[in-house]
Chain A
C-alpha cells in the first residue's frame, strides 16, 4: 500500500466536487430552461393579462437565462452573502417559483431529513431482512427456509412499490390498525414506508449474502474451523459471514443513495413529505429553482457517498486500489 494514498484520494475527490457540481448545474439549467411552459402559470384557473405575466417573469429573472444563471449561481455559492447581502441564508436557493409562500431552502430543510431518515431506515431494514434471509438460506440450502428466502427475493424484486405499499397499508393500517395510514411525524409513520422501500434492496442483499455464504461455507478456512471443533454458530457468523458480506458492503453505497433518492412512489403512497414526490412535481411544474436545488444537493450527496464507500473499502481491505488516485 502506498503511504498517504487514502488522504490524498479524499482531498482530490473533494477538490473535484465543485467542478462536478458546476457541470451538473450548467447542464441541468439548460435542460430545465428548454422545458416549455411558465412556472408562474397556475395549472388551472384564470389566465392573467400578458403585461402581468411579463412583469412576474421579470421579477424572477425568467425573462433572461443569462441573468438567471448568474444570479442563482451567486446565491447558491454564497457569493451574495459574502458580498454583503446578509438578509438571507449563506447558501440561498431562492424562492420556489411554484409555491410563492416558501423558499427552496425551507422546502429542502423540511423534506431532505425526511427522505434521508426514510432511506436509512429502509437500508437498515434491508440489511436485517436480507442478511438474515441470506444466511438462513445458505445454512440449509434447498430447505423450506431457503425456499422462503428465495420467495422473498422474488416478491421484493418483482412487485412494484405501489402494490407492496398499498397491501401493507390495507393490512397493517386499515385492518389491523397498528400503524397510521399516511403522514409523518410519529415513529409509527416510518415503519410501513421503510418496509415497502426496503424490500427490493432486502431481496438483492439476500441473494448476495446467500451466494457469498455458500461459497464461504465450502472454503478451506471454514473446514479448518469446523475441524477444530468450533461451535457451528461461531463458524457461520465469525468465519464465513465476515467474508461473505464484502459484496453486500459494496452494494450498500449505491443502495443507500438509491433508497434516499428513489423513494418517489413510496413517498406518494404513504403521503411521506420527502423530496421524491415533490421533485417530480417540481419537474412537471417547471419549478426551476427547486429542481436545480434538489439536483445539486443530491449530486453532492452522491459524490460524498461514493467517496465514503471507497474509503470504507480501503479500510476493510487495504489491497483494493481506490479509484481516483494517481497510480
Chain B
C-alpha cells in the first residue's frame, strides 16, 4: 500500500518540486535600481494628451520643458532653457535654449520643437485636456475657435474634406496669429494676452513639454537625419507619415499613439523608454544623450502596475518594491496611525494640492421640475455650518486630513491669505435655515416653507468605487439630520453613472474633488466661473466672473492676491456653492533610511532622476564602471 501512495504522490511532488526549484533559481539580477508602484496604468506618454499625475511623472522623466520646478527650494530652475527675459509689462517672454540639448536620437533640441509641440497643444485636433490652461498665450483661444469653425464649415460643405489642405492653412494661421515665435533656432518668444504670474509653473507642466516631430508623425526612417533639426528637412508627404492621418468625416488631424513605444519614442529628458508592457510594467533607463549624466542618480526605474492595493503593500513588505506612491489599502488609516505614533517610519503622509468637497446643485430647479431648496444661498450656508469636519477626519476617514472650510488648501500658495470660510456652528445653521423660510410650522418635527410645502428629502450623491465617500456621506447625513432636522437620502453610484448625474444636474448634493494644476489660486477658483466646463453645480454669479476677470487684468501681484482672497471669502462665506471638507492627503511607503531624493511637493512632482537607493549605491557604481 505504501508503494501505491508513493506512486500516486510522486508525480505531484515532482511537479511541485520542479516549480519550486525553478522559482528558487530565479535570477533577480535585472531588478531596476528603483521599483515603484503607483497610481495604476499610465494612460499616455504623449505629453500634450496627459492629464493624470502618473503620466506627468513619466513625462517629466522622458521629456524636458523650458523650466522645471525647484523641488528643494521652491521657485524654478532652468531646464531646456538656460535663461529667459521678461518685458517690463510681463507680456513678452524670450527663452534662450541650451544649444547642447539633444533628443535621444542625437538631433538638436531647438525652438522649432517647442513651437510645433505647442501647436499640437493648442489645436483642437489633439483633444488635449489642458489646452485652455494655455489660452493666455496671445491669439491662442482665437486660433482654437478659428480651427473649430474652419472644420465645421468644411464638413458642412457636403463634398469630400481635404484634411491636409485645411491643416496647412491652420499651421499658417497659427504662425501668423499666435504669440509663439521662433526668433532663431535657440530663441523662442512668447507673447501673452495679460500678465500671467504663474507662467513658469505652466511651462514646467508636462503638457508643455516638447515632442520630436519626425517621431510623432512617423516620418520614414530614411528621411530623418540626426545631425540637424527636422526644421531643416523637407517634411515627407502625408501619405508616408505613419502615425498621423485625417478623419474622413471631420477633416481633423488624427494621431496614432504607437509612436510612444520602446525603441520608437524619442525624448529630450534624462531617461528613455526601455520597456512598456500593457498593465504590467514600464521601465525607464538613462538616456545616452542627456546633457547632465552626473545629475542622474540611478540607471533604471521600473514602475509596476499592481492594481490590488493589498498586493502592492505585500510586494513592498517582501522587498521587491521600493516605493508605493499612493497607498490605498483598507487598513490605510491604521498605517497612518502607526506612522503618527512613531511605530513605523516608512509610512509617509503627504498633503496634496487638492480638496475633497461636496457640491450643491445651485440651479433654480431640479431636472424633474421640482423646486430646488439649494438655489438659496441661505440654505447652502445652513448646511455648510452644520458640518463638523473634525469628526469626519478624525473618526470617519481616520486619516486626520487638514479639515478646511475654503476651497484652496490654506498655506499651499505662497503670498496668498486664505479667508476663514464657514465654521461649524449648529445654532447659526438653524437660524440661517429659518431665515430662508424653512421652519417647523405645524409642530410635526419637520420643516415647512411659508405655504406649507415640506422640505424635500435631500439626496446625497456619492461614488461607490472606494468606501471613503460612503463613510463621509453617512457622517454628513447624521449631522444634517441631527442639526437641521431634514431628511437625507444617500445615493451611491458607480463613477460612470455619477458623472452622468453630475453633468445633467441630477442631484441635490454630490461629492467632488479638485486637484490644483499650478501654484495660483485661480487653478481652484476658476471652477466657480459660470462658464467653466467643470462647473457641475450650475453656479452662476456675475460678480464671481467679473472678479476673476478683474484679477486677471491686475498688474500688481499683491493686489491681485488680495482680490482673489476676497473672492474666495465671498464664495465660501456667502455663496457656498460647495462645502469644502478636507485637504486630500496621500500616503506613501518607502524606507527613508534606504531611499533618498523623494520630495513631498504638494503637487506630487518628483524628480525621478534624483532618487536613489543608498544601500544599492555600491552595486550601481560597479555596474556603471567600465
- Report which A residues bind B (CB closer than 8 A): 35-37, 41-49, 51-52, 55-56, 58-59, 99-103, 106-107, 110-111, 124-125, 128-129, 131-132, 135-136, 139, 166, 169-170, 173-174, 177-188, 190-191, 232-233, 236-237, 268-271, 273, 277-278, 284-286
Known: A45-B52, A284-B496. Is A128-B11 also a contact (CB below 8 A)? yes
Known: A45-B52, A129-B12, A182-B311. Is A58-B249 also a contact (CB below 8 A)? yes
> Which stretch in B188-196, B276-284, B360-368, B369-377 binds the other chain?
B276-284
Known: A51-B124, A173-B314. Is A46-B51 also a contact (CB below 8 A)? yes
Please determine whether A181 and B44 come into contact, CB atoms closer than 8 angstroms: no
Q: In the complex, what residues of B have CB within 8 A of residue A181's CB?
A: 311, 314-315, 318, 320
CA A99 – CA B276 in complex, angstroms? Answer: 13
Tell me the minimal C-beta distance from B26 to chain A in angstroms: 5
| Per-residue interface assignment for chain B, residues 4 to 24, with 1 indicating a CB less than 8 Å from any chain A CB and 0 otherwise | 110111011001000110111
Not counting A51-B148, A128-B15, A270-B311, a sample of 17 additional A-B residue pairs whose C-beta atoms are within 8 angstroms of each other reads A37-B496, A37-B497, A46-B534, A47-B534, A49-B132, A55-B127, A100-B49, A139-B1, A166-B310, A166-B314, A173-B314, A183-B280, A183-B281, A188-B23, A233-B4, A269-B310, A271-B308
Q: In the complex, what residues of A have CB within 8 A of residue B258's CB?
A: 101, 103
Q: In the complex, what residues of B have CB within 8 A of residue A45's CB?
A: 51-52, 129
Please determine whether A237 and B7 come into contact, CB atoms closer than 8 angstroms: yes
CA A159 – CA B228 in complex, angstroms? Answer: 64
Please determine whether A273 and B277 come into contact, CB atoms closer than 8 angstroms: yes
Q: In the complex, what residues of A have CB within 8 A of residue B280's CB?
A: 110, 183-185, 273
Question: Is residue B43 contacting chain A, with contact meaning CB distance below 8 A?
Answer: yes
CA A42 – CA B495 in complex, angstroms? Answer: 10
CA A183 – CA B37 in complex, angstroms? Answer: 12
Question: Is residue B411 contacting chain A, with contact meaning CB distance below 8 A?
Answer: no
Q: In the complex, what residues of B have CB within 8 A of residue A233's CB?
A: 1, 3-4, 7
Question: Is residue B41 contacting chain A, with contact meaning CB distance below 8 A?
Answer: yes
Known: A46-B534, A191-B23. Is A182-B306 also a contact (CB below 8 A)? yes
Q: In the complex, what residues of A have CB within 8 A of residue B304's CB?
A: 182-183, 271
Residue from A46, A124, A186, A191 in contact with B129 in the complex, judged by beta carbons closer than 8 Å: A46
List 27 A–B pairs whose Cβ atoms lie within 8 Å, in order of A's numbering.
Answer: A35-B496, A42-B52, A43-B499, A46-B533, A47-B533, A47-B534, A48-B129, A49-B132, A55-B252, A99-B43, A100-B257, A107-B278, A110-B280, A131-B8, A135-B8, A139-B4, A173-B314, A181-B318, A186-B26, A187-B19, A187-B23, A188-B23, A188-B24, A191-B19, A232-B4, A233-B4, A284-B496
CA A176 – CA B1 in complex, angstroms? Answer: 34
Q: In the complex, what residues of B have CB within 8 A of residue A232's CB?
A: 1, 4
Q: In the complex, what residues of A have CB within 8 A of residue B576's CB?
A: none
Question: Is residue B130 contacting chain A, with contact meaning CB distance below 8 A?
Answer: yes
Known: A46-B130, A136-B5. Is A101-B45 also a contact (CB below 8 A)? yes
Greatest chain A CB density within 10 A among B22, B23, B261 is at: B23
Please determine whether B44 and A268 come into contact, CB atoms closer than 8 angstroms: no
Tell me the minimal C-beta distance from B342 to chain A in angstroms: 23
- Total A-B residue pairs with C-beta atoms closer than 8 Å? 177
Please determine whether A125 and B15 come into contact, CB atoms closer than 8 angstroms: yes
Please determine whether B311 and A132 come into contact, CB atoms closer than 8 angstroms: no
Q: In the complex, what residues of B have CB within 8 A of residue A58's CB?
A: 247, 249-250
Question: Is residue B223 contacting chain A, with contact meaning CB distance below 8 A?
Answer: no
Please determine whether A186 and B23 come into contact, CB atoms closer than 8 angstroms: yes
Please determine whether B314 and A124 come into contact, CB atoms closer than 8 angstroms: no
Please determine whether B278 and A236 come into contact, CB atoms closer than 8 angstroms: no
CA A46 – CA B523 in complex, angstroms? Answer: 12
Known: A181-B311, A232-B4, A269-B308. Is A44-B26 also a contact (CB below 8 A)? no
Question: Is residue B307 contacting chain A, with contact meaning CB distance below 8 A?
Answer: yes
Q: In the complex, what residues of B have CB within 8 A of residue A183's CB?
A: 280-281, 304, 306
CA A179 – CA B41 in complex, angstroms? Answer: 24
Nearest residue (CB) in A for B126 is: A52
Please determine whether B4 and A237 come into contact, CB atoms closer than 8 angstroms: yes
CA A48 – CA B499 in complex, angstroms? Answer: 13
Tell me the minimal C-beta distance from B231 to chain A in angstroms: 27
Please determine whether B49 and A173 come into contact, CB atoms closer than 8 angstroms: no
Residue from B41, B52, B314, B533 in contact with A49 in the complex, judged by beta carbons closer than 8 Å: B533
CA A44 – CA B43 in complex, angstroms? Answer: 12
Known: A55-B124, A188-B26. Is A174-B534 also a contact (CB below 8 A)? no
Please determine whether A110 and B277 come into contact, CB atoms closer than 8 angstroms: yes
Q: In the complex, what residues of B have CB within 8 A of residue A268's CB?
A: 307-308, 311
Tell me the minimal C-beta distance from A59 to chain B in angstroms: 6
Please determine whether A177 and B310 come into contact, CB atoms closer than 8 angstroms: no
Nearest residue (CB) in A for B308 is: A268
Q: In the complex, what residues of B have CB within 8 A of residue A271's CB?
A: 304-308, 311, 315
CA A42 – CA B53 in complex, angstroms? Answer: 13
Q: In the complex, what residues of B have CB within 8 A of residue A43's CB?
A: 495, 499
Nearest residue (CB) in B for A37 is: B496
CA A49 – CA B11 in complex, angstroms? Answer: 63
Tell me the minimal C-beta distance from B586 to chain A in angstroms: 14
Known: A186-B23, A187-B26. Is A99-B7 also a contact (CB below 8 A)? no
Residue from A111, A166, A177 in contact with B278 in the complex, judged by beta carbons closer than 8 Å: A111
Please determine whether B496 and A110 come into contact, CB atoms closer than 8 angstroms: no
Q: In the complex, what residues of A have CB within 8 A of residue B310's CB?
A: 166, 269
Nearest residue (CB) in B for A192 is: B23
Question: Is residue B345 contacting chain A, with contact meaning CB distance below 8 A?
Answer: no
Q: In the complex, what residues of A have CB within 8 A of residue B26's CB?
A: 180, 186-188
Question: Is residue B334 contacting chain A, with contact meaning CB distance below 8 A?
Answer: no
The 5 A-B residue pairs with the shortest CB-CB distance in the complex, in nearest-first order: A188-B23, A233-B4, A37-B496, A128-B12, A181-B315
Tell me the minimal C-beta distance from B587 to chain A in angstroms: 18
| Per-residue interface assignment for chain B, residues 159 to 201, with 1 indicating a CB less than 8 Å from any chain A CB and 0 otherwise | 0000000000000000000000000000000000000000000
Question: Is residue B614 contacting chain A, with contact meaning CB distance below 8 A?
Answer: no
CA A285 – CA B499 in complex, angstroms? Answer: 12
Tell me the minimal C-beta distance from A235 to chain B in angstroms: 9
| Per-residue interface assignment for chain B, residues 284 to 308, with 1 indicating a CB less than 8 Å from any chain A CB and 0 otherwise | 0000000000000000000011111
Q: In the complex, what residues of A have CB within 8 A of residue B306's CB?
A: 182-183, 271
Nearest residue (CB) in B for A50 is: B533
Greatest chain B CB density within 10 A among A135, A187, A191, A286 is at: A187
Q: In the complex, what residues of A have CB within 8 A of residue B254's CB?
A: 59
CA A111 – CA B279 in complex, angstroms? Answer: 9
Q: In the complex, what residues of B have CB within 8 A of residue A185's CB?
A: 280
CA A271 – CA B533 in complex, angstroms? Answer: 37
Please determine whether A169 and B311 come into contact, CB atoms closer than 8 angstroms: yes
Tell me the minimal C-beta distance from B273 to chain A in angstroms: 11
Q: In the complex, what residues of A have CB within 8 A of residue B281's CB?
A: 183
Q: In the complex, what residues of B have CB within 8 A of residue A100's CB?
A: 43-44, 49, 257
Q: In the complex, what residues of A have CB within 8 A of residue B261's CB?
A: 101
Please determine whether B307 and A48 come into contact, CB atoms closer than 8 angstroms: no
Greatest chain A CB density within 10 A among B22, B45, B132, B278 is at: B278
Nearest residue (CB) in B for A277 is: B307
Within 8 A of A (CB), among B30-45: 41, 43-45
Known: A45-B51, A52-B124, A273-B278. Is A59-B247 also a contact (CB below 8 A)? yes
Q: In the complex, what residues of A have CB within 8 A of residue B318's CB?
A: 173-174, 177, 180-181
Question: Is residue B317 contacting chain A, with contact meaning CB distance below 8 A?
Answer: yes
Question: Is residue B500 contacting chain A, with contact meaning CB distance below 8 A?
Answer: yes
Please determine whether A286 and B278 come into contact, CB atoms closer than 8 angstroms: no
CA A101 – CA B43 in complex, angstroms? Answer: 7
CA A48 – CA B148 in complex, angstroms? Answer: 14
Q: In the complex, what residues of A have CB within 8 A of residue B312's CB?
A: 182
Residue from A52, A101, A107, A273 in contact with B257 in the complex, judged by beta carbons closer than 8 Å: A101
Known: A48-B129, A58-B247. Is A278-B1 also a contact (CB below 8 A)? no
Q: In the complex, what residues of B have CB within 8 A of residue A286's CB?
A: 496
